Chain A
């Protein structure tokens, strides 16, 4: 009933992927270049969640591409090409991260403590009649001037908010909402349950919304 959200960067079709794989195996440099350009940013974001510095993340990505080339003949197409590539990144990143004693323990992908989407103070409580109801309604962004949300400044606020997220939330929202990965792709890549993935996404989006709200209302 809710309209599905089409991401601006939707996934390639299965036949497009099969074509790329064939061309890669055939040594087509253009195909490799296209693949690199398509996935570089997401691979970097994923690696960045597991290792200490950006420089190390870049090395992980370089190593991952070697892994892709060395493994492409054995790629069976059971998962999507993208997911297969991302799993290589994760595996290398974890190995690297462990060596540098900085990995996200897998428990970080299982959200424990409660993190309400909205500060409970913004809702009325038992003493206030209408418990659970907004104290004051949130603003209507629909009435903002049309390009407010697209200007550089606003995008910077959003980027910064994502940077400041806890690592697990950052990876999930980057994969889902920046890179347009599907829920299945995220779950397969990071080896998390759909439920956990959704909780992380929920919390990430809630935090980013709060940051946007502070910027727009402040």
Chain B
């Protein structure tokens, strides 16, 4: 017999966000998660903040290799190629 679900609390939801965005929540937990979002604007905004954070982190330009380091590596490559 199916016991009625305890709806998730906001405090539980914020701990599940990474798994949810990673699509690694078990099916019924993902449903409970979405159900909560359906009712709770605060958590919708929180999830959105998390998504935005990840996107912003993704905008960080990775640093380029400094020219001297690159020259050194190319030199090592040519040595390796020769041997």
Contact = CB atoms under 8 A, between A and B. Distances in A.
A and B form one complex: yes
Interface of A: 1-2, 4-5, 7-9, 27, 29, 32-33, 36-37, 40-42, 44, 58, 61-62, 65-66, 69-70, 116-118, 120, 123, 131-134, 137-142, 149-150, 154-155, 158-159, 162, 173, 177-180, 183, 194, 198, 201-202, 205-206, 208-209, 212-213
Main secondary structure, interface of B, reads helix
Instruction: Identify the 5 closest CB pairs spanning chains A and B, nearest first.
Output: A132-B9, A137-B42, A41-B62, A202-B18, A132-B11
A72 B74 CA distance: 16
B44 to A, nearest CB: 8
Given A70-B80, A133-B9, A155-B60, A198 B49 contact: no
A177 B42 contact: no
Contacts of B24: 194, 198
A5 B17 CA distance: 13
A36 B65 contact: yes
Contacts of A118: 11, 14, 46
Contact of A132 (B12, B52, B78): B12
A158 B72 CA distance: 32
Given A40-B65, A120-B11, A213 B49 contact: yes
Contact of B69 (A8, A62, A137, A154): A62
B58 A180 contact: yes
A57 to B, nearest CB: 11
A67 to B, nearest CB: 11
27 contacts: A1-B30, A1-B34, A5-B51, A7-B58, A9-B58, A9-B62, A32-B74, A33-B70, A37-B65, A41-B63, A65-B76, A66-B80, A69-B77, A70-B80, A123-B9, A123-B11, A132-B11, A134-B10, A134-B40, A137-B42, A149-B55, A150-B59, A178-B57, A178-B60, A180-B58, A202-B15, A205-B50
A198 B19 contact: yes
B49 A138 contact: yes
Contacts of B60: 155, 158-159, 162, 178
B23 to A, nearest CB: 6
B48 A140 contact: yes
Contacts of A132: 9-12
